[in-house]
């Protein structure tokens, strides 16, 4: 026992420094969240900027325990996807996939190719270009859900159209992420197809369980004590995420499927218990991504990020417009749907993080960071402004 104490005591200065630096960073994140709330947009861009400031080459580099922060970041991704899964019941997911399938295909056709083509034109490896395609394709469910709630648009005519597109994108990630994970470790196409097949089977099984046995599964977790629910759910999330990772399916998708399998009322109770953990580790995730990017690498890619942002923002507007008009929405509602889809965030950073960790393409991280920073700020602003702008123009014409 004394030997263990001596070993620990010998490193007490290093441990205290880690605590101090992490404490400063997390307090900084809290301040940034306050600022983002006051300004009325997502805190994600500010978390990324904090990572850039505190990382190597930043204004105030901090010597974090990288392994600790990396594990925290991974937990953040898992909890983000689990909480996203809680937003859907099995029946809702199946219904949204059916009604939103045409819009989902249009969304993919409009928004995946710009990133893929840009990567190929830059001379990147095909896999890096494939990752950039995923980054430009996927909208931020978290940012969009938050802005719709803040603007009181959850019951609007166009909102089901937006949700159906987001559900299709989330489902597409259940195929895309396992495929990328296998390709990044150098496995062949046959192994990649096997992983995708496993992912699809897993999704099908979970949807079947959620629809037929969701209440029984939820009753297994239910308990009078919040502590029991918290420990059971969090442990189950980590267990399933780990098993999914072992099967090359993606830990994040495993967590997403667990979220879908839970039904009311336990889903709402679990959401309330895990939301603070999600917020903490998600902030660490975005901070960690920013820490890996040298700020000096941003200026060379800014013009490309803006160009790619403009093109894909227009593509998202067209996607939302077409899908909402197809659902009998009026022009204002259709435009609101298009603007809402612009924001990029958590999934884009998850995809970019895979490429950065694999050392796939030096510019991938910097371009992704600049691109997400731009659209995570511009998307919510345009979503807020489009209605007063269109109504003001209509008044002028009358």
**Does 90 have pLDDT greater than 70?**
no
| Residues 367, 343: Cα–Cα separation, whole Å | 16
Lowest mean pLDDT among 145-149, 185-189, 364-368: 185-189
255 vs 63, higher pLDDT: 255
Q: Which long-range contacts (CB under 8 A, 24 or more apart) does 173-177 make?
A: 173/138, 173/252, 173/253, 173/256, 173/347, 174/199, 174/200, 174/203, 174/250, 174/253, 174/256, 174/257, 175/199, 175/200, 176/134, 177/250, 177/252, 177/253, 177/350, 177/351
- Tens of pLDDT along 300-342? 999 999 999 999 999 999 999 999 999 889 999 999 999 999 9
Number of domains composing the chain: 1
pLDDT score at 398? 63
Instruction: Single out the residue of 242, 105, 238 nearest to residue 171, CA to CA.
Output: 105
Q: Which two tokens stand for residue 171?
A: 């489902």
| Residues 248, 226: Cα–Cα separation, whole Å | 33
- Cα angle value 166/242/223 (rounded, 5°): 80
Residues 6+ apart with CB under 8 A from 210: 89, 90, 93, 217, 260, 261, 263
Q: How many percent of the chain have pLDDT more than 70?
A: 85
Instruction: Single out the residue of 395, 352, 306, 377 nearest to residue 184, CA to CA.
Output: 352
Instruction: Single out the residue of 306, 346, 354, 317 nearest to residue 45, CA to CA.
Output: 346
pLDDT score at 8? 42
Cα–Cα separations (whole angstroms), residue 149 to 155, 193, 294: 9, 38, 35
How many helices (H) and strands (E) the chain has is answered by: 17, 0
- Tens of pLDDT along 93-114? 677 777 778 999 999 999 999 9
pLDDT score at 345? 81
CATH code for position 148? 1.20.1530.20
pLDDT score at 394? 65
Residues 6+ apart with CB under 8 A from 3: none
| Residues 142, 170: Cα–Cα separation, whole Å | 12
- Tens of pLDDT along 292-307? 788 888 899 999 999 9
pLDDT score at 7? 41
Task: State the virtual CA torsion across 241, 245, 250, 251 in degrees, nearest 10.
Answer: 20
Task: State the virtual CA torsion across 281, 367, 256, 64 in degrees, nearest 10.
Answer: -20
Instruction: Single out the residue of 145, 55, 70, 150 nearest to residue 369, CA to CA.
Output: 55
| Residues 279, 252: Cα–Cα separation, whole Å | 16
Q: Give the domain extent around 261.
A: 2-397
Residues 6+ apart with CB under 8 A from 361: 119, 124, 125, 128, 355
Mean pLDDT calculated for residue range 276-303? 84
């Amino acid at each position: 026992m004394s030997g263990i104490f001596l070993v620990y005591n010998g490193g007490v200065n290093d441990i205290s420094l880690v605590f101090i630096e992490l404490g400063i960073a997390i307090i900084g994140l809290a301040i940034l969240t306050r600022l983002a709330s006051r300004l009325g947009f997502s805190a994600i861009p500010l978390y990324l900027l904090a990572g850039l400031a505190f990382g190597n080459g930043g204004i105030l580099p901090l010597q974090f325990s990288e392994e600790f922060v990396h594990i925290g970041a991974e937990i953040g991704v898992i909890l983000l996807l689990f909480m996203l899964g809680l937003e859907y019941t099995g029946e809702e997911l199946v219904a949204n996939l059916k009604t939103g399938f045409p819009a989902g295909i249009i969304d993919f056709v409009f928004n995946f190719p710009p990133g893929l083509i840009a990567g190929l034109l830059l001379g990147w490896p095909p896999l890096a270009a494939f990752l950039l395609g995923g980054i430009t394709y996927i909208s931020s469910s978290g940012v969009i859900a938050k802005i719709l709630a803040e603007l009181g648009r959850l019951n609007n005519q166009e909102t089901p159209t937006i949700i159906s597109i987001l559900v299709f994108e989330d489902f597409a990630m259940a195929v895309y992420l396992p495929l990328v994970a296998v390709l990044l470790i150098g496995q062949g196409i046959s192994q990649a197809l096997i992983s995708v097949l496993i992912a699809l089977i897993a999704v099908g099984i979970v949807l079947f369980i959620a629809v037929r046995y969701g209440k029984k599964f939820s009753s297994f977790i239910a308990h009078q004590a919040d502590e029991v629910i918290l420990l059971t759910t969090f442990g189950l999330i980590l267990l399933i995420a780990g098993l999914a990772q072992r099967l090359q399916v993606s830990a994040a998708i495993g967590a997403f499927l667990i979220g879908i399998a839970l039904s009311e009322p336990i889903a709402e109770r679990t959401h309330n218990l895990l939301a603070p953990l999600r917020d903490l580790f998600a902030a660490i995730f975005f901070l960690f991504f920013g820490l890996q990017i040298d700020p000096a690498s941003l200026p060379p890619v800014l013009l490309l990020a803006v160009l790619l942002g403009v093109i894909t923002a227009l593509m998202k507007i067209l996607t939302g417009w077409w899908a909402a008009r197809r659902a009998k929405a009026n022009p204002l509602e259709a435009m609101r749907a298009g603007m809402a889809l612009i924001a990029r965030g958590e999934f884009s950073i998850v995809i970019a993080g895979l490429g950065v960790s694999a050392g796939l393409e030096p510019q991938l991280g910097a371009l992704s960071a600049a691109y997400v920073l731009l659209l995570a700020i511009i998307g919510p602003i345009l979503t807020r402004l489009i209605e007063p702008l269109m109504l003001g123009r209509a008044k002028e014409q009358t």
